[in-house]
Amino acid sequence: MKLIKVIPKIFYSDIKDGLDLFIDVLGFEVKYCEPKPAFYIIDRDGVTISLVEDDEYAQKDRPEIRIATDDIDTLYNELAAKEIKLFHPNLSRVKLQPWGLKEFALLDKSHVCVIVQQST
């Protein structure tokens, strides 16, 4: 037996914030959705995330998630070409970290942080 993936659930006061980041910017696709309350299962390249519109939970601490890739420069260039305004101000470019990962980060309007990483 082995564990094969983590599927985070992210709560939003306004589901549009999550859809803007994950669908419009990162290119995830909707695999399932329910309109009320808004619930989405999205996926890109086998990375699955659940998005839920629930103001009560969304008012608590905002999550930070990491997405690993095998080609961080290509993904960064893809996003930079879109001229998005969601790059995290503290990690808006690909940076080699002291712990050996190349990383950049995105921050949506509700302060969900997505760090994209690649092993070196």
Interval 80-112: pLDDT, tens? 999 889 999 999 999 999 999 999 999 999 999
Q: Does 115 map to a domain?
A: yes
Closest CA to 5 of 71, 68, 99: 68
Q: Does 2 map to a domain?
A: no
Q: Does 81 map to a domain?
A: yes
Q: Does 71 map to a domain?
A: yes
Q: What angle do CA 64, 69, 15 make, to 5 degrees?
A: 40
Closest CA to 108 of 9, 5, 3, 16: 16
What total of structural domains would you count in the chain?
Answer: 1
Q: How many Å apart are CA 117 and CA 104, to the nearest integer?
A: 7
pLDDT at 99: 93
Q: How many Å apart are CA 102 and CA 23, to the nearest integer?
A: 23
CATH number at residue 34: 3.10.180.10
- The boundaries of the domain holding residue 107 are 9-119
